[in-house]
Chain A
Amino acid sequence: MRAADALMEALKAEGVEHVFGIPGGANLPTYDAIYDADLTHVQARHEQGAGHMAEGYAKASGRVGVAMATSGPGATNLVTAVADAIMDSVPTVFVTGQVRTDLIGTDGFQEADVSGITLPIVKHSLMVKDPRQIPEYIHQAFHIASTGRPGPVLVDVPQDLSRADISYEPSTEPVELPGYKPSTEGNIKQIRIAAKALANSSRPVIYAGGGVINANASEELRELCLSDSFPVTCTLMGLGGFPGTHEQWLGMLGMHGTRTANYAMDEADLIVCVGARFDDRITGKLSEFAPRAKFVHIDIDPAEISKNVPAHIPIVGDAKQVLPKLTKEYRAIKADPSRLEPWWDRIRAWQRDYPLDHERSETGEIKPQAMVEAMYKVTDGDAIITSDVGQHQMWAAQYYNFDKPRRWINSGGLGTMGFGLPSAIGAQVACPDETVVCLAGDGSLVMTCQELATAVHHEIPVKVFLMNNGYFGMVRQWQELFWEKRYSSVEMGPSPDWEKLAEAFGAKGMRVDDAAEVEGAMRDALATEGPVLLDVRVAPHENCYPMIPAGSAARDMVGGPAPEADSSASRPGSA
């Protein structure tokens, strides 16, 4: 069998139904094999788009996303997506073409050392040196990408080797690698200690992250939180891991989280971190982060434990396996639930004093927060929402109360502008029966808008709701607040006519600029078949609040509704 065809057989043996990519010289054999292969290829318009599509596919479905690119510029165009996937632990396999083996190292046409370039941003990479390795490496790549802490694996395939004739039987044997054995179960002794610590805590907070989503453990997280009245907060990546409409929900935490969630972290005596990593957007000033708390840290990646914040009770394991054990141990202790009442009194006071809210428009101007609220309303809070990076992303995180996992797809760790549209295409391919909405920013969308062509070409009916404020809004906000309003290169100036741009690509273009018409326009967009771009002209100078100014402590959040004298007794640290 031709090695390129064996590559397809290996992909199919791994259950792959869809791949995203672009052909070129060095991967001609691969694309020749795709021609006959029984899988759907989505032809992206830029390799970065293909990479984000694979990520969106993976995040929406929990399955491994696959993207392909040719050598040289094709491969380097993938790099942003690879970096994005490592930062957000997205199970992905990237297959790049490479120049012929006799050209490697000679600066051949379209040669780039892609495995060298991506070395710091892959979970692992495999360079094919022998054609028989092609299918073998595909199996290894899927194993590594999807187990333990998921991440991107790159397989670099020289053009001549994929034309070789090899023998290959699709393998179903589990892959064994001597240096790769993720531990998943969690040490039961540590779990018991954690249960006791929880029972002994009077001000606990459960802090969950993207690991809960990756582990498909949101049901298990709910069980733990409901085994008593534990307050719950999630990171940007964890949203949907716990229902956003539940009474034990504190809102998102971190830089643009709710005051309640951040204040609760500040005053907690025990923080149970599940699948999160104490990122600087969560902790603010590290030395003043949660000063009263002890930490239980549950993570599948041992290197995350005590990386930023020293863990008192480390538990290495898969959240799906660890959480039920922790819940069981905790229930067995029969702790007195009334001990948490004073804590809830304090939390309720914060929720009353510092609700997540914004000023209402009185002029017909569309408030960006109200745009997200309208999205929530017209989709019944049940769409798959992807986003770009910036203010709109934070407003979506704040105001779209995600109730279910895998409904919120965004670029958290790397913060990749332009992620929204291609990841929406990937998510829609993975979930053809769901409503997929990309909440885009105008600064971001222009970076990957060529993928509208992909959506039209493959009849992928994503709905792009563009929050158009004419700025790189988050940068403008920082220049306003911290750089003396010296607005440097943040105005978008003559932006494209988005309606016409959408139409030029063959999609449906729409525009709305009156607050009263937003919901109706969104409903029209959702009712329209095929891809739609709805340009929503929002208030240009709105800032995203509340926020922890970078480098400040969580208790020093600024902005958002607050009681008259914000030095009131309910501020943390004052009790």
Chain B
Amino acid sequence: MEAGTPDLIKLEDLEAASGRLTGRKHVLSITTENKPGVLARIAGLFSRRGFNIDTLAVGPTEDPEIARFTLTVDGAVHPIDQVTKQLHKLVNVIKIRDMSPGETIAREMALFKVSAPIESRAEIMQFAEIFRGKIVDVSRRTLTIEVTGSADKIEAFERMIRPHGLIEMVRTGEVAIQRAKPEA
């Protein structure tokens, strides 16, 4: 629809800009003023509008006045444009970036406490090595392994380790940053 032509627009040709479901996971990177209560506002907005947060990570940025929320939302369930527009209405929210998968590095850290008796200990340590995990704690019966990577990688590791007896798992939720543009 070029604005400059004198042709009338046929009504039938107009397409609605609807709150369509995108069908994929979205990583939203939200910068906010670093003020008390911002987390409550964001969390409250999600519950009030009936949106679900899949994961959430909050922390400071290079600028002490600014905090960053990295939030993943299922675009198969929620209209992402409504989610971002509503977030934008929060006065403390400065910028929202819907990180496109191709241009984003996303990482998550997880800690796994695994049952590891002598007979399976070697195998578990081998898995950890394959996933470039680190053994961060050890006891006579358990190993605690730290794994960092994409959510997929963490889920893959979980599948490998679970049959050995997963005692406890904790995940941080993804944090993401935009890839640097290749040098021109």
Rounded to whole Å, the gap between the CB of B87 and the closest CB of chain A is 9
Contact present for A178 and B94 (CB under 8 Å): yes
Q: Given the complex of chains A and B, what is the CA–CA distance between A189 and B90 in angstroms?
A: 28
Query: Which of B5-13, B68-76, B113-121, B154-162 is found at the contact surface with chain A?
Result: B5-13
Rounded to whole Å, the gap between the CB of B93 and the closest CB of chain A is 5
Is A493 on the interface with B (CB-CB < 8 A)?
no
Contact present for A310 and B18 (CB under 8 Å): yes
Contact present for A179 and B33 (CB under 8 Å): yes
Is B153 on the interface with A (CB-CB < 8 A)?
no
Q: Using Cβ atoms and an 8 Å threshold, which residues of chain B touch A209?
A: none
Rounded to whole Å, the gap between the CB of B29 and the closest CB of chain A is 14
Contact present for A295 and B85 (CB under 8 Å): no
Contact present for B9 and A119 (CB under 8 Å): no
Contact present for B40 and A197 (CB under 8 Å): no
Is B52 on the interface with A (CB-CB < 8 A)?
no
Contact present for B17 and A179 (CB under 8 Å): no
Q: Using Cβ atoms and an 8 Å threshold, which residues of chain B touch A192?
A: 3
Contact present for A307 and B19 (CB under 8 Å): yes
Contact present for B89 and A200 (CB under 8 Å): no
Is A565 on the interface with B (CB-CB < 8 A)?
no
**Closest Cβ neighbor of A301 among chain B residues:** B89
Interface membership of chain B positions 118-152, coded 1 if the CB is closer than 8 angstroms to chain A and 0 otherwise: 00000000000000000000000000000000000
Contact present for B85 and A303 (CB under 8 Å): yes
Query: Which of A311-319, A353-361, A458-466 is found at the contact surface with chain B?
Result: A311-319
Q: Given the complex of chains A and B, what is the CA–CA distance between A564 and B81 in angstroms?
A: 48
Q: Using Cβ atoms and an 8 Å threshold, which residues of chain A touch B9?
A: 193, 196-197, 200
Contact present for B16 and A312 (CB under 8 Å): yes
Is A453 on the interface with B (CB-CB < 8 A)?
no
Rounded to whole Å, the gap between the CB of B161 and the closest CB of chain A is 40
Q: Using Cβ atoms and an 8 Å threshold, which residues of chain B touch A2?
A: none
Of the candidates B14, B32, B88, the one whose C-beta lies within 8 Å of that of A312 is B14
Contact present for A269 and B11 (CB under 8 Å): yes
Of the candidates A179, A189, A197, A301, the one whose C-beta lies within 8 Å of that of B3 is A189
Rounded to whole Å, the gap between the CB of A102 and the closest CB of chain B is 17
Q: Given the complex of chains A and B, what is the CA–CA distance between A387 and B73 in angstroms?
A: 42
Q: Given the complex of chains A and B, what is the CA–CA distance between A42 and B95 in angstroms?
A: 41
Rounded to whole Å, the gap between the CB of A328 and the closest CB of chain B is 14
**Closest Cβ neighbor of A199 among chain B residues:** B8
Interface membership of chain B positions 17-47, coded 1 if the CB is closer than 8 angstroms to chain A and 0 otherwise: 1110000000000001100110011001100
Q: Which of A106-151 contact B (CB under 8 A)?
A: 115-116, 119-120, 123-124, 127, 129, 144
Q: Which of B91-114 contact A (CB under 8 A)?
A: 91-95
Contact present for A179 and B91 (CB under 8 Å): yes
Of the candidates B11, B44, B89, B93, the one whose C-beta lies within 8 Å of that of A197 is B11
Of the candidates B11, B45, B95, the one whose C-beta lies within 8 Å of that of A201 is B11
Contact present for A119 and B19 (CB under 8 Å): no
Contact present for A119 and B32 (CB under 8 Å): no
Q: Given the complex of chains A and B, what is the CA–CA distance between A124 and B90 in angstroms?
A: 7
Contact present for A306 and B8 (CB under 8 Å): no
Q: Given the complex of chains A and B, what is the CA–CA distance between A323 and B4 in angstroms?
A: 20
Is A163 on the interface with B (CB-CB < 8 A)?
no
Rounded to whole Å, the gap between the CB of B33 and the closest CB of chain A is 6
**Closest Cβ neighbor of A125 among chain B residues:** B37
Q: Known: A200-B8, A312-B14, A312-B17. Contact between A119 and B33, CB under 8 A?
A: no
Q: Known: A127-B36, A127-B37. Contact between A180 and B44, CB under 8 A?
A: no
Rounded to whole Å, the gap between the CB of A192 and the closest CB of chain B is 5
Rounded to whole Å, the gap between the CB of A83 and the closest CB of chain B is 12
Q: Using Cβ atoms and an 8 Å threshold, which residues of chain A touch B37?
A: 115, 119, 127
Is B181 on the interface with A (CB-CB < 8 A)?
no
Of the candidates A180, A188, A201, A270, the one whose C-beta lies within 8 Å of that of B91 is A180
Is B179 on the interface with A (CB-CB < 8 A)?
no
Q: Given the complex of chains A and B, what is the CA–CA distance between A410 and B32 in angstroms?
A: 36
Is B1 on the interface with A (CB-CB < 8 A)?
yes
Q: Known: A306-B16, A307-B19, A311-B17. Contact between A200 and B11, CB under 8 A?
A: yes
Contact present for A313 and B85 (CB under 8 Å): no
Q: Using Cβ atoms and an 8 Å threshold, which residues of chain B touch A269?
A: 11
Q: Using Cβ atoms and an 8 Å threshold, which residues of chain B touch A333?
A: 8
Q: Using Cβ atoms and an 8 Å threshold, which residues of chain A touch B91?
A: 123-124, 144, 177, 179-180
Interface membership of chain B positions 154-173, coded 1 if the CB is closer than 8 angstroms to chain A and 0 otherwise: 00000000000000000000
Is B183 on the interface with A (CB-CB < 8 A)?
no
Q: Using Cβ atoms and an 8 Å threshold, which residues of chain A touch B88?
A: 302-303
Is B61 on the interface with A (CB-CB < 8 A)?
no
Is B178 on the interface with A (CB-CB < 8 A)?
no
Of the candidates B10, B17, B36, B48, the one whose C-beta lies within 8 Å of that of A314 is B17
Q: Using Cβ atoms and an 8 Å threshold, which residues of chain A touch B89?
A: 123, 301, 303
Is B62 on the interface with A (CB-CB < 8 A)?
no
Q: Given the complex of chains A and B, what is the CA–CA distance between A200 and B45 in angstroms?
A: 40
Is A46 on the interface with B (CB-CB < 8 A)?
no
**Closest Cβ neighbor of B12 among chain A residues:** A294
Rounded to whole Å, the gap between the CB of A451 and the closest CB of chain B is 31
Q: Using Cβ atoms and an 8 Å threshold, which residues of chain B touch A180?
A: 91
Q: Using Cβ atoms and an 8 Å threshold, which residues of chain B touch A120?
A: 44-45, 48
**Closest Cβ neighbor of B9 among chain A residues:** A196
Contact present for A294 and B11 (CB under 8 Å): yes
Q: Using Cβ atoms and an 8 Å threshold, which residues of chain B touch A295?
A: 16
Q: Using Cβ atoms and an 8 Å threshold, which residues of chain A touch B32?
A: 179
Contact present for B82 and A303 (CB under 8 Å): yes
Rounded to whole Å, the gap between the CB of A177 and the closest CB of chain B is 6
6 closest Cβ contacts across the A-B interface?
A310-B18, A310-B16, A303-B85, A312-B14, A189-B3, A200-B8
Sample of 25 A–B contacts (CB below 8 Å): A115-B37, A119-B40, A120-B48, A123-B89, A127-B36, A129-B36, A178-B94, A179-B33, A180-B91, A192-B3, A196-B9, A197-B9, A200-B9, A269-B11, A303-B85, A303-B88, A303-B89, A306-B81, A307-B82, A310-B16, A310-B18, A310-B19, A311-B16, A312-B14, A312-B15
Beyond the given A269-B11, A303-B85, could you list 20 further A-B residue pairs with CB under 8 A, ordered by the A residue number?
A116-B40, A119-B37, A119-B41, A127-B36, A144-B91, A178-B94, A179-B91, A179-B92, A179-B94, A188-B3, A196-B7, A197-B11, A199-B8, A200-B9, A302-B88, A305-B85, A307-B82, A310-B17, A312-B15, A312-B17
- The residues of A with any CB-CB pair to B shorter than 8 Å are 115-116, 119-120, 123-124, 127, 129, 144, 177-180, 188-189, 192-193, 196-197, 199-201, 269-270, 294-295, 301-303, 305-307, 310-314, 333
